[in-house]
């Protein structure tokens, strides 16, 4: 019996900076974007919980090779902490585990904020993706286990109080590094203030190098699809017509919403090469770095030709040595 090969996606590459809606998981969002764009592969930089909204950078095709650089980028979150309750998940999803009638004043909150600014030690939530003995912490927690998760070093570069919502809640904004859990921040502040607390609203607004100007909603993607009409797929007798999958005409319009793969590498030194050098780099060969401003030495850099990313590599003694090459 002949085996059917899985249909391969198209070789589209670039970043979709999705404004993820509430209620949608990150994996679900990536799958939806991959399907809509007909991409052969997709990945994301920095998970957002279903109860969080905002920026979810999704890499398609060759852009998946640049995911680690975006994951390491600084992130900005705006969030609301509701005081008086601590919850098992440190957000609205979990059960209440502790209660207090105490409510902090603005002065008390501001006095404790410096403790959470700069490089700090933070213990991730019980319900998190941290691996403990090979298993995800949230899987163990859902099984009823209470686990010891070691504290780890994170960095919060900016911590601002935006608004006091009476005595019950406070809105904050932080800029932080990789691995910071906002839920842990709310939990720990609530304990320090003697009133307990949990996240009731959470939105990620930036993931360096992307900004709010880059955000694209699902509605905007659907609008781009609808701008090029397509007939619904025929359905079997008695069934509703199937919603059509985007095709080549729709993809041309939708692809305009993508950001170029190379935009993820603003953090690296960049060199410009000609077509001949680009061809050599794509074959894995080193090339001479030319140009007055080109660095003679760099542990990591990227090369562009005609504005398109060609390779990531190292520069040694004026030679660019490719480590990862890009064909699209």
Q: Which helix (H) or strand (E) holds 11?
A: none
Q: Pull the structure tokens for residue 328.
A: 């699209």
49 is catalytic: yes
173 neighbors 113 (Cβ within 8 angstroms): no
Chain centre to alpha carbon of residue 170: 25
Distance CA(76)–CA(272), nearest Å, equals 31
Q: Pull the structure tokens for residue 111.
A: 């006095």
Chain centre to alpha carbon of residue 57: 5
Q: Angle at which helices 218-226 and 26-37 pack, to 10 degrees?
A: 20
Q: Is 301 helix (H, G, I), strand (E, B) or coil?
A: strand
Residues 6+ apart with CB under 8 A from 60: 12, 13, 14, 15, 16, 33, 34, 37, 39, 41, 42, 258
Distance CA(51)–CA(59), nearest Å, equals 22
Q: Which residues pair with 176 in a beta bridge?
A: 75, 156
Q: Name the active-site residue from 19, 49, 91, 214.
A: 49
DSSP H helices in the chain: 26-37, 67-71, 106-112, 137-142, 182-192, 218-226, 248-254, 275-282
**Residue labelled with tokens 């003679």:** 296
DSSP state letters, 90-151: SBTTSPEEEE-S----HHHHHHHGGGGSEEEEEPPPSSSS-EETTEEHHHHHHTT-------
Distance CA(69)–CA(87), nearest Å, equals 33
> Catalytic residue numbers?
49
């Amino acid at each position: 019996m002949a085996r059917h090969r899985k249909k391969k996606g198209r070789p589209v590459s670039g970043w979709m900076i999705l404004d993820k809606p509430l209620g949608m998981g990150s994996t679900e969002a990536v799958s939806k974007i991959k399907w809509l764009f007909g991409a052969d592969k997709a990945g994301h930089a920095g998970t957002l919980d279903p109860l969080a909204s905002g920026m979810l950078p999704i890499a398609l095709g060759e852009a998946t090779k640049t995911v680690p650089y975006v994951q390491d980028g600084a992130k900005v979150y705006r969030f609301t902490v509701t005081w008086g309750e601590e919850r098992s998940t440190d957000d609205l999803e979990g059960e209440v585990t502790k209660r207090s009638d105490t409510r902090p004043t603005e002065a008390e909150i501001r006095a404790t904020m410096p403790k959470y600014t700069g490089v700090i030690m933070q213990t991730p939530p019980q319900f998190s993706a941290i691996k403990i003995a090979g298993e995800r912490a949230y899987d163990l927690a859902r099984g009823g286990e209470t686990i010891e998760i070691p504290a780890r070093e994170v960095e919060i570069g900016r911590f601002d109080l935006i608004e006091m919502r009476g005595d019950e809640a406070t809105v904050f904004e932080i800029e932080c590094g990789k691995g910071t859990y906002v839920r842990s921040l709310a939990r720990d502040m609530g304990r320090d203030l003697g009133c307990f607390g949990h996240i009731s609203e959470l939105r990620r607004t930036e993931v360096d190098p992307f900004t709010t100007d880059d955000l694209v909603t699902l509605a905007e993607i659907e609008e781009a699809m609808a701008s090029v009409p397509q007939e619904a797929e025929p359905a079997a007798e008695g069934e509703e017509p199937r919603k059509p999958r985007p095709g080549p005409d729709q993809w041309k319009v939708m692809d305009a919403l993508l950001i170029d793969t190379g935009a993820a590498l603003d953090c690296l030194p960049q060199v410009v090469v000609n077509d001949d050098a680009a061809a050599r780099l794509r074959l894995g060969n080193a090339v001479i770095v030319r140009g007055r401003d080109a660095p003679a030495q760099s542990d990591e850099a990227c090369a562009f030709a005609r504005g398109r990313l060609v390779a990531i590599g190292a520069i040694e003694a004026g030679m660019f040595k490719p480590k990862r090459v890009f064909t699209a």
